A and B are shown apart, each in its own frame.
Chain A
């Protein structure tokens, strides 16, 4: 158990819909990262938050947005969903916001868009 909690574990929805994925980081961790993993693909970095503020953006589509709340949990919002958005979405957390820190991954939210 990494200490990072993600909900829901599985989500099936239709094209055009909007979903929200939730992540609670490890106790004390200030950084939250979102990654997308498609079938047989590596981990694509989407976005990072540190202590409530956006720290870095990766290959995140404009249809996607995220935020980190004062209690440090984070939500990833995916809208106008397309078939290609079907993937495993991981949240990870780390203690600091600088490089070199080990990432602790949650178990992921598997999104299926039909």
Chain B
């Protein structure tokens, strides 16, 4: 069945270091979304990418959608303690309407 995989599962960084999480889909996606879930919180939408090769930036966060629209990445430059949380990618669930299939997420911890 359709799968969305994320690596790494966990990442521990020192504050100020960069961080990247990768998302790979078993199928071509029409779009990909990224969500952040703070510890004890709920997922919050960060961004949606639609075009092949698209790159979007939000301050220190850079999101990329692969040329083949099967992979994506989120890169955080100079992490801060406020970046702590789990980052999920999600793509449309094939054969459904409006449903998303989520990756298992990358849990980021930042040591001050």
Given contacts A42-B105, A45-B93, A100-B31, contact A105 B99 (CB under 8 A): no
Return chain A residues, CB-CB under 8 Å to B105.
42
Return chain B residues, CB-CB under 8 Å to A106.
42
Highest count of chain A CB atoms <10 Å: which of B45, B50, B99: B99
Q: Is the CB of A105 within 8 A of B98?
A: no
Name the one of A2, A56, A107 contacting B96, with C-beta atoms under 8 angstroms.
Answer: A56
Highest count of chain A CB atoms <10 Å: which of B44, B45, B100: B100
Given contacts A2-B44, A100-B31, contact A42 B92 (CB under 8 A): no
Total count of chain B residues near the partner, CB < 8 A: 25
How many Å from the CB of A19 to the closest CB on chain B? 19
**A100, B102: Cα distance in complex, Å:** 13
Given contacts A90-B42, A102-B48, A105-B43, contact A97 B100 (CB under 8 A): no
Return chain A residues, CB-CB under 8 Å to B35.
103
Q: Does A96 sit at the interface, judged by CB under 8 A?
A: yes
Name the one of A94, A97, A107 contacting B42, with C-beta atoms under 8 angstroms.
Answer: A107
Q: Is the CB of A45 within 8 A of B45?
A: no
**A35, B100: Cα distance in complex, Å:** 10
Q: Is the CB of A97 within 8 A of B97?
A: yes
Interface size class for chain A?
20 to 34
Given contacts A42-B88, A55-B98, A97-B97, contact A104 B104 (CB under 8 A): no
Highest count of chain B CB atoms <10 Å: which of A58, A90, A99: A99
* 14 further contact pairs, Cβ within 8 A, besides A55-B98, A100-B48, A106-B42: A41-B104, A42-B104, A43-B90, A48-B99, A55-B99, A94-B98, A99-B31, A99-B97, A99-B98, A100-B50, A100-B92, A104-B45, A105-B44, A108-B42
Residues of B within 8 A of A (CB): 30-31, 33, 35, 41-45, 48, 50, 88, 90, 92-93, 96-105
